[in-house]
Amino acid sequence: MSEKNERRPLPDPASAELRGLISDAETRAVYDVLYQAREEPLAMPAIRERVSALTGKSNLQMDRRLRSLRTHFDVPARRVPEKRNLFVYPLLGWNPDADKRTTRKNIPGSVRALVHHTYGNRCAACGRTPKDDQVKLVIDHMVPLDLGGTNDPENLQLLCDEDNHDKQALFADHQENADALRKSLSLPEVHLRIGELLKAMAGEDVPKELIVLVAREENNGDPTKRMRELRSLGWIIKNSQRKKGRRVLSFYRLEHWEPWPPGGPQAAVVRLERARRRAKRAQKAPSGTDLRSTAVE
């Protein structure tokens, strides 16, 4: 760790120094927002909103931009007390050593303690505890380090030995899909991430756990809902279940896919939902003529 780096003042958002470090204007806008909010760090929705206001663009790839900022600057995710899934992102200074984030042994004790506290000393998968169930808990990287996961607290969870073992076995079984997983994880929208993984593994049974991994949504997301949304875009995805030991495993198999709609899948899904709601309202409140014609039929 370099002392010099820690004391070096942060560059002004409009400075040539920052432009020299970061060529992408949107990433500099993220820096600008974090820089202005140093005293009172913001959560992601507020950051996104302000960056959109600065750049005039929505649909920004915030995860990727934050990752690229973190190669230069120290921007930890801090959990808001009492709110398990809310994080604020303080811009603390220069990143003293970017490489430190990416090895398992460098999870600081304070972060380990935080993870144990957040998960109430329970396995995130089965809910068992050392006290009641005599299980041993380990800290797990939700996105594994070799797939680009970090030691940031939002990527860490507690798993019991057994669930941790199952997860490692799952990734060992899918070694050949590592590139597809890495590529999916780098995409900006949840439907793209899930859809591109399904495409890369088309015709194979893709375990739900891999879908949850690339979805990168809070509380393991809602894979059933995401599959429904992809189906609404014309995709054919078969779901199957298989029993394995004490649990039921769920798989998704892609049988047909459609090109991504212009403007991206997220916007298309929102449009479809809006149209469906309008159609429902029209059905509920028919005009007098409609009533009569229905009665005649």
Question: 68 vs 157, which CB is nearer to Zn ion?
Answer: 157
Task: Give dist(CA 94, CA 112) in Å, integer.
Answer: 23
Site for Zn ion, residues 165 to 224, rule: CB under 5 A: none
CB-side exposure of 255: number of CA atoms within 13 Å? 7
Task: Using the rule CB under 5 A, give the single segment among 39-47, 91-99, 118-126, 192-200 that binds Zn ion.
Answer: 118-126
Site size for Zn ion (CB under 5 A): 5
CA distances from 5 to 1, 83, 92, 94, 96 (A): 8, 33, 12, 6, 6
Q: What is the residue-wise DSSP string for 208-221?
A: HHHHHHHHT-GGG-
Residue placing its CB nearer to Zn ion in the complex, 126 or 147: 126
Q: Strands 93-94, 73-74: parallel, antiparallel or unpaired by DSSP?
A: antiparallel
Least spacing, CB of residue 18 vs Zn ion, in Å: 45
- 126 touching Zn ion, by CB under 5 A: yes
Instruction: Give the bridge partners for 88, in sequence order.
Output: 43, 78
N-terminal to C-terminal alpha carbon distance within the chain: 79
CB of 113 to Zn ion, least distance (A): 20
Which residue in 26, 74, 152, 163 binds Zn ion (CB under 5 A)? 163
Pick the piece of the chain touching Zn ion (CB under 5 A) from 40-48, 153-161, 206-214, 222-230.
153-161
Q: Does 47 bind Zn ion (CB under 5 A)?
A: no
Residues contributing to the site for Zn ion (CB under 5 A): 123, 125-126, 160, 163
